[in-house]
Structure 1
Amino acid sequence: KHNNYATREAIELLIYENNLTQENHNISFIKAILDKSQRNRFFKNILYKNHLLLLRSCIYFFYRYFFLFGFLDGKSGLIYHFLQGFWYRFLVDSKIIEIKYVAFEKKITIQEAITEVTGYKNFTV
């Protein structure tokens, strides 16, 4: 189940990164302050998507575990934040790397590589 979610998120990030959609990803700072879902999207667009692949999963884990006080939950907090904040994000990044590698090696577009690696033919964000 999480493998499928990670594949879909990798596709979404590649679409965003390569400007393959007409959707407007710009969120005003005022909306980000007032609405929690807009705030999460704002930070994801500004901070998370601009960090290096594989490194951002480490940064995100440390942010969740230390700055959001996940360590106060004990062993269960460590397990939860490791799986949700590190492992899942690492899986998404590894799928992005795999798709980019296939596109580079076979000299095909990102859309074709997404279809070849994941099997998704019609993908939209």
Structure 2
Amino acid sequence: MAAADFEEIVDAFEFLEDWEDRYRHVIDLGREMDPLPEALHTEGAKVHGCASQVWMIPRVQGTGPEAVVTFDGDSDALIVRGLIAVLRTRVNGETAGTLCNLDIVAELARLGLDKHLSAQRSNGLRAMVARVREIAETTAKG
């Protein structure tokens, strides 16, 4: 399911030729995402390495490499909320084993974001991907 939803974003990016339109699309995806309750904006949920405030909450169903992993997230910056939404679209619903073997950075690079984000935003996105990988690897080990 996650991969199919992500493919819709890839298709939308191919249709939207202008980067301003693509940024607006990413921001719209973030606006459509349910915000995290303030009570979940904790230090433990915070993703360090991001210029903006970013919180990610993993949800794991099952154990080991077959456990299904999903993330909820939030940020105080609209574009970053959108990046969280894009990342979630690609990874949510995948198994821990799949996420351990998935090159998430390469998947996101299909959108060209790596060439159009500021260095700070790129670093923040890499920090979010690292959080996903950390949770997946810990979960897969059981």
Q: For this structure pair, what is the TM-score category when the shorter chain's length is used for normalisation?
A: 0.3 to 0.5
**TM-score of the aligned structures, taking structure 1 as reference length:** 0.39
**TM-score of the aligned structures, taking structure 2 as reference length:** 0.35
Larger strand percent:
2
Larger helix percent:
1
Rg comparison, structure with higher value: 1
